[in-house]
Amino acid sequence: MSYDTAVARMFALGHELAQTPSHKFDLEHMRILLKALEHPERKFPSVLIAGTNGKGSTAATLAAILQASKLKTGLYTSPHLVRINERVRIDGIPIPDDMFALIHDLVDRTAERLVSEGELPWHPSFFEMLTAISLEYFAREKVDIAVLEVGMGGRLDATNVVEPRVSVITDVSLDHQKYLGNTVAEIAREKAGIIRDSGTVVTLPQSPEANDVIGNSILERGAKAINAVPFIPPVSPGAPVTGFRVSPDPNVFRTRYSLSVMGEEISIESPLVGRHQLRNTALAVATAEELAKQGFARITPSSIEVGIRNTHWPGRFQVVPPNEKWPEIVFDVAHNPAGAWALRSALSSLYEDRRMVFVFGAMRDKAIAEMTEILFPLAENVVAAAADNPRSATAAEIRAAAARTATDVEESSSVENALERARELAGAGGLIVVTGSIYVVGEAMRFLGVRI
């Protein structure tokens, strides 16, 4: 089977959040599939990360630390910006096309056999297939450890088949209510499903509703709780959102501060910008320190310092400097209200008094009106566009949702056309902000040839 055929078969399964109503989330189906594959998930240690916001940034930072520690490190994240291979990486390198096709063929044939024999009621979903492919790949390549980002929720997510050395829970807020519940407490309960009996969980204090659920889950399971607060630097009210320092290049921002880690003082320099990223970095550092205590002796204060500096997580407040054709552009996948607040904070701090034009698109099931009320007041103009995805809200729907913002919202027929229009509106000295959905950001980056 060719790579293109494998990818086409994957997407033919439908979007991971668009299964038919009869296809309920059921972890037992995933276990049956992995048993037939001879349990690849048992052949390497792992860290499992759940949360509403920040789990991808935390996963990318932790993976970079482990890689800097000379550990062969698998990283599984979702969704992707441009190519599906981005979701499955070893030491930062996406799974090769031929390997993806080879393992997909194995998993697909195994799934079809299980369905034909009545062991599975239906073919695994897009996300279940991709999770099985990633686990098989990591097992074949004999990774020293893998960092796995939960796709959605936690309790019934396909990634929750592993027995993690450490479970990590990032910030929890409202998102995916159709699947996870209508309150923060209900959603936190799903996230807490990754905590193991007598296991280890790293987290941070957050909303009272989430704290209550996560805390009770830790107590009920007799788990060891690690609070990452000691790794968050003190930031006084009104201090720059970058934390402490902007690098000499005016178009490249870095967060710099000092931390005491494993008894040593280290200098943190992270490319992930924003107050919220201080929390995500703290979770990664706390997890790395715990893994070192569990026997991963290659993890040192120095490797933590180097790993954070080398973290690469595209599309998260990624700044592209201006050139002869385009003004400065910020890409940020703020896909829910909490993400929108984080982006607003960063833009307000770093680009005060700058003319901003937004290119905005979102999935129809998101809190679009709330997101527009948070973000659009910062913009002189907004160009709305739908990504090439069946779940995308139309430009007209976005404009209607933004009616209360009093911001000028134009409709565009595509992300490419929206970018061209934003360039006209921003002028040479303006700033274009592309946000609202990872699919919009991905299409824009692909059109502009931005490195992923």
* 196-241 pLDDT per residue, tens: 999 999 999 988 989 999 999 999 999 999 999 999 987 655 544 4
Which band of pLDDT confidence, cut at 50, 70 and 90, is reported for residue 174?
A: low
d(CA 95, CA 332): 24
Tell whether the model's pLDDT for residue 18 goes beyond 70. Answer: no
**128: Cβ–Cβ under 8 A, 6 or more apart, which residues?**
29, 30, 33, 158
Q: Is the pLDDT of residue 17 over 50?
A: no
Strand positions, DSSP E, 107-217: 145-149, 166-169, 200-203
Residue of 65 and 437 predicted with greater confidence: 65
Q: Which of 14-18, 56-60, 237-241, 386-390 has the lowest mean pLDDT?
A: 237-241
Angle at 437 between CA 357 and CA 204, to 5 degrees: 110
Highest mean pLDDT among 180-189, 252-261, 418-427: 418-427
Alpha-carbon gap, residue 313 to 452, rounded angstroms: 8
In the chain, what are the domains? 3-309 (3.40.1190.10), 318-448 (3.90.190.20)
CA-based nearest residue to 407, from 436, 369, 435, 440:
369
Q: Are 111 and 120 in contact (CB under 8 A)?
A: yes
Per-residue pLDDT of 401-434, as tens digits, reads: 999 998 889 999 999 999 999 999 999 889 999 9
Mean pLDDT, the chain, rounded, equals 90
314-354 pLDDT, tens per residue?
Answer: 998 998 989 899 999 999 998 889 889 989 988 988 888 88
Q: Among candidates 2, 28, 32, 15, which has minimal Cα distance to 104?
A: 2
Residue type, 420: E
